[in-house]
Amino acid sequence: MTLVLTVVLVALIFEYINGFHDTANSIATVVSTKVLTPRQAILLASVTNLVGALFGTAVAKTISSGLVDSQFVSTTTIICALSGGIVWNLITWWFGLPSSSSHALIGGLIGATLASADGNWEALIWSKPPDAGKHWYEGGGIFYKVVLPMVSSPLAGFTFGLVLMGLLNSICYYLRPLVVSRTFGKMQIFSAGYMGFSHGQNDAQKTMGIIALALVAGTNAGDLQELPGWLSFLRIESLGAKGDQIPVWIKVVCALTMAAGTAAGGWRIIKTLGHKMVKLQPVHGFAAETTAATVLFGAASLGMPVSTTHAITTSIMGVGAARRWNAIQWSVVGRILWAWVLTIPATGALGYVFVKAVV
């Protein structure tokens, strides 16, 4: 019982760190354009992250039942997976690199499960064909839900950001700069809120899935049989045939935890995204936030645990490229890309090592 409750606690710590690690993804642009003060932006992000986290469970289903074979997952496996993600998030946060919390969690889960299965690669669900009547990209497994969106979402963010910014440049060409700044300064408040909502809808659900997976594993292993009656809600025998029964209390706790983490802020990453990579005006912030939020919203509806970091960073790059190619600080982009490439292998290795160290 103690081990299972430890899993829940560690998962919530991950969610809290995710909140302040990824705060920059929601508010970096609105702070850098000076539309909102940091305090106002954090309040907006906290509220919209909370609301977004309560909508839908598609991403939570993917994490809880779509990537690894649950028979190889124990409470120890999940603690080690989360620990790998936490360590990597703290390292990248310290260096101000906007790496993906989503991929940190997924990498940790893959590595830890592989270790628990003694190197049996069949413990990983590489791909599942889509249900009858569904599109090919709605299949399950690591390929469809992780690898495919890991490539497509940054490309979509860059392309849509470039196109949207090009359209806005055409629309605003004959307007005075002051009018453009004031108009999009107001509109950016809504785009920042949309970004926060989409972030909560995508990122908070990942921890929901992990907690649900841990409680199912603990219940089936008999670890929760001695719980007193008032804690019986922790026993979850299954998540349904399609993994779609995430309890409401898990949604609420994860949403509140992410909102609390968001309120703590993440100024190192805000500095990288909002100031170092490309200089932004309100119209650019509006374009970047709208693009990234739309990418996240679409991915969440398909159950794809897309990286908020990848979406907003590439959207900012696309917006910057629409101004001029050399407006982007490519040296900073290079550092970010290295963090992206290394996240899943690094957290996978950490999760694997942590399991082997304790088992």
Report if residue 336 sits inside a domain: yes
Tokens 């907006």 belong to 44
The predicted pLDDT at position 1 comes to: 64
Report if residue 27 sits inside a domain: yes
Does position 325 have pLDDT exceeding 80, yes or no? Answer: no
What domain range is 245 assigned to? 2-354
List pLDDT tens digits, range 61-106.
777 667 888 788 888 888 899 999 889 988 887 877 767 777 888 8
Tokens 């841990």 belong to 214
The predicted pLDDT at position 316 comes to: 84
CA distance 33 to 35: 6
Counting the structural domains of the chain, the total is 1
Report if residue 306 sits inside a domain: yes
Report if residue 280 sits inside a domain: yes
CA distance 303 to 131: 14
Report if residue 124 sits inside a domain: yes
Q: What is the largest CA-CA distance in the chain?
A: 71
Report if residue 189 sits inside a domain: yes
The H or E element spanning position 34 is none
CB atoms within 10 A of CB 190: 12
List pLDDT tens digits, range 285-316.
899 899 999 998 888 887 777 877 788 888 88
The predicted pLDDT at position 162 comes to: 92
Report if residue 359 sits inside a domain: no
Cα torsion 108, 110, 113, 119 to 10°: value is -120
100 backbone dihedrals φ, ψ, rounded to 5°: -90, 115
Note whether 264 and 20 are within 8 A (CB). yes
Report if residue 148 sits inside a domain: yes
The predicted pLDDT at position 143 comes to: 86
